[in-house]
Chains A and B, each alone.
Chain A
Amino acid sequence: MSALSVRGLRIRIGGVDVVDGIDLDVAAGECLAIVGESGAGKSLTARALLGLTPPHADVAAESLVVGGVDSARFTDAQWRGVRGTGVGLVSQDALVSLDPLRRIGREVVEPLEIRRRGGGSLDDAVVALLERVAMPEPALRARQYPHELSGGLRQRALIASALAGDPRLLVADEPTTALDATVQRRILSLLGELTASGIGLLLITHDLSVVRSLADRVAVMRDGRIVETGATSRVLDEPQHSYTRELLAAVPRARAPREVMPAPVVLEATSVTKSYRSPDGTRMAVSAATISVQQGKTLGIVGESGSGKSTLARLLLALEKPDSGHVILEGAQWSESRESERRSRRGAIQLIEQDALGSFDPRHTVARALAESLALAGVARASRRARSIELLALVGLSAEVVDRRPRELSGGQRQRVAIARALARGPRILVCDEPVSALDVSVQAQVLALLDGLQRDLGLTMVFISHDLGVIAQVSDEIAVMKDGVIVEQGTATDVLTAPQHPFTKELLGASADNLF
């Protein structure tokens, strides 16, 4: 008995077919993954299966059978009868999906309270549901509020809530995207157990490693159409459509180790420590971290959220002063200098951030942002515009971008402009803090290729920070692994990736090993 059967689903918004006639089938106990980049129409499709499309969207389908119920012509009231019992939704951000003022237990049984069937007490039902999603200490968790739970546990609570009405189909929209790699793996194995128990799972994701570990079949979506569909192994190993091949090629892979020639150390931090005061005492953000980067090489720093990677980046840039320890830049004292002396040397080391849009003054055009950097590099006013256009060409952007504002550009273009601005200052070292994490996978691959080319052509030294071991493996000569403010392991990329010593590194590698080699 099929959990979902859709023929010719069409969603029209403002006269445009955002989803353009797609067919989907999910059998009981099967996982179908829809993959694609942002704007492909994945999430809108997921919403349509619960009748939750926005009011201005016009949904039509030849047939729409959800959880065994034909719902093609459903009214809102009829949809309410299906949601929870026929189909459950697990969304990406568990923190906003759970009501902050209600305890987990109440949230989880809400679907049961609405229907009130069966005799057993709701408390037992809560504990049973939380046990089903392998929530540790279920009785305790049921009494806690969402903010008291970690991201992974919140996601479990959300899944428990989706399961409360015993649906035949679970729609999971990017269920693990906001989670760290190790937590992600645990949630994926939970979803795997649920499908094994007979629930149909429709998984929406942009992450091909998630697809490989969980899905039986995969549908590749682009611009509202399914361009390729088939068994997971067939689609991922023998892709037929050019777009599928493009997506697969964009997945970061460990690169062949480059010839290791000793080069002078240009940036080094010696047991730098930084703590912040917080309501529950002082929190150690970075604890006695020691790193060194050789000229022309890339040091990758990998770790999960809150591990202190970004604080370490700010210490390397001397945007923060370490509590103890010091940073040496190009052989001269850096963290201990006065800011007025540092300013003239700042050109040597530049920063690329994750949030490219936020890194530009919203009132300034690209030309003005680049001019600020060029002025500091000593470029005369008259030649700044010409030089800006040269720099934009260097990062693969056309001259017309120069008079636009960053918010009028795409995410990839903005990151290119941010790189151009850093280059305008004539740096020898680039510190890249999650530079591609906000980008779609194909754009990510382009930006990584750009950084790689620039490093080769300009002889740049790089410190590359990411939570994504795949990206780190692709760009790094050396890798440092951070956990809870401490560098738990560091060494050459090959050593860390093939012979990890620390248990945490092994766990990280296990979480993303499928795609690395």
Chain B
Amino acid sequence: MSTVLSRRAISLRRPAAPGVILAALVLAVLALAVVAPGLFTPIDPLAASASGSLQPPSSAHLFGTDQSGRDVFARVVYGARYSLAVGVGASAIALLAGLIIGVLSGLAHPAVDSVVNRAVTIAMSFPEFLLALVVIAIVGPGQLSLVVALSIAAAPAYARVARSQTFVVKRAGYVTSARSLGVSAPLIVLRHIVPNTLGPLAVMATIGVGTAIVSAAGLSFLGLGPAAPAPEWGVILSEGRNLLDRAPWITLFPGLVITVTVVSISVVGRYLQSRSTR
């Protein structure tokens, strides 16, 4: 017993792999870009200059300039705010909605649970991207629509996991103990069931943020996200797509940043997942 405990303690203290530390640093830099983009560049991401258009990367313009002469680096730095807001916002809303639906369904009468579960299954049978497209077709394009569409698309998966976790937790010994102590049912749900259901969902969400960022960029690329001058990453890609042969830097750098962001989020998410399932 004692040896098992001490071995577990050692594995908890084991330092994270260098890749995880690097990924965490990338996320920290991104977070800084969201909070204070002015720290990275003094240039206005919307300032056009006809004379300075389509310049290749240089010390003055790290990522070059686009057809309107706007600095691509500044646009990418300021764009972090849009992309991360959409990614984090959509995941948070999806998690919350999924948690509420899943826990209530898991605790409800089997007949109610069965209906909710069918609905969730139907929603999950559509690809998330397609579902998001349908929602945008209904509510119209824009930054907020993007968040709403992506959270609606992602929520069923969270609901599914929350429901199955609720089934486990509601039979746990500590729920029986709370019942026999005389704790009221709503309090048992809030104090024991919800917090113990939340763990796996939170891990899902860290990986879900990456997916949401890619989907958001994809939808913006199609012109369904924020309107054109906004420095959203997908919008920048879209603007550069006709100039791939003459000015590849316009699409290359934002594309790399999206990839690095999503990979970093996945790496950190999977690290947290491995920690939580010890």
A interface with B by C-beta (< 8 Å): 13-14, 16, 18, 38-39, 317, 319, 339, 342-347, 349-351, 353, 355, 357-363, 372-373, 376, 408, 410-411, 418, 421, 425
Contacts and interface: CB of A to CB of B under 8 A. Distances in A.
Given A363-B196, A408-B5, A372 B181 contact: yes
Given A347-B182, A376-B181, A359 B174 contact: yes
A372 B178 contact: yes
Interface residues of B, number: 22
B230 to A, nearest CB: 42
A342 B182 CA distance: 8
Contact of B181 (A38, A350, A355): A350
A343 B182 contact: yes
Interface in B151-210: 172-174, 176-185, 191-192, 195-196
Contact of A360 (B174, B182, B183): B174
Given A351-B176, A353-B173, A361 B182 contact: no
Contacts of A361: 174, 191-192, 195-196
A306 to B, nearest CB: 18
7 contacts: A38-B1, A319-B179, A342-B182, A346-B181, A357-B173, A361-B192, A362-B174
B131 to A, nearest CB: 34
B176 A359 contact: yes
Contact of A355 (B173, B179, B192): B173
A373 B182 CA distance: 9
A319 B173 contact: no
Given A39-B1, A359-B174, A372 B180 contact: no
Nearest to B180: A351
B196 A362 contact: yes
Contacts of B192: 361
Interface of B: 1-3, 5, 7, 172-174, 176-185, 191-192, 195-196
A347 to B, nearest CB: 6
Given A16-B3, A362-B196, A363-B195, A351 B177 contact: yes
A351 B180 CA distance: 7
A14 B11 CA distance: 14
A317 B180 contact: yes
A359 to B, nearest CB: 4
B180 to A, nearest CB: 4
A358 B172 contact: yes
A373 B5 CA distance: 28
Contacts of A355: 173
B180 A346 contact: yes
B4 to A, nearest CB: 9
Contact of A425 (B3, B7, B181, B195): B181
A346 B2 CA distance: 36
A486 B183 CA distance: 32
A319 B196 contact: no
B1 A360 contact: no
A13 B185 CA distance: 48
A376 B182 contact: yes
A84 to B, nearest CB: 30
A345 B195 CA distance: 27
Nearest to A38: B1
A347 B185 CA distance: 16
A411 B1 CA distance: 9
A16 B185 CA distance: 49
Given A353-B173, A372-B178, 4 more contacts: A18-B3, A39-B3, A343-B184, A345-B182
A372 B176 contact: no
Nearest to B4: A39
Contact of A359 (B177, B183, B191): B177
A418 B192 CA distance: 17
B1 A410 contact: yes
A360 B184 CA distance: 17
A272 B178 CA distance: 24
Contacts of A345: 182
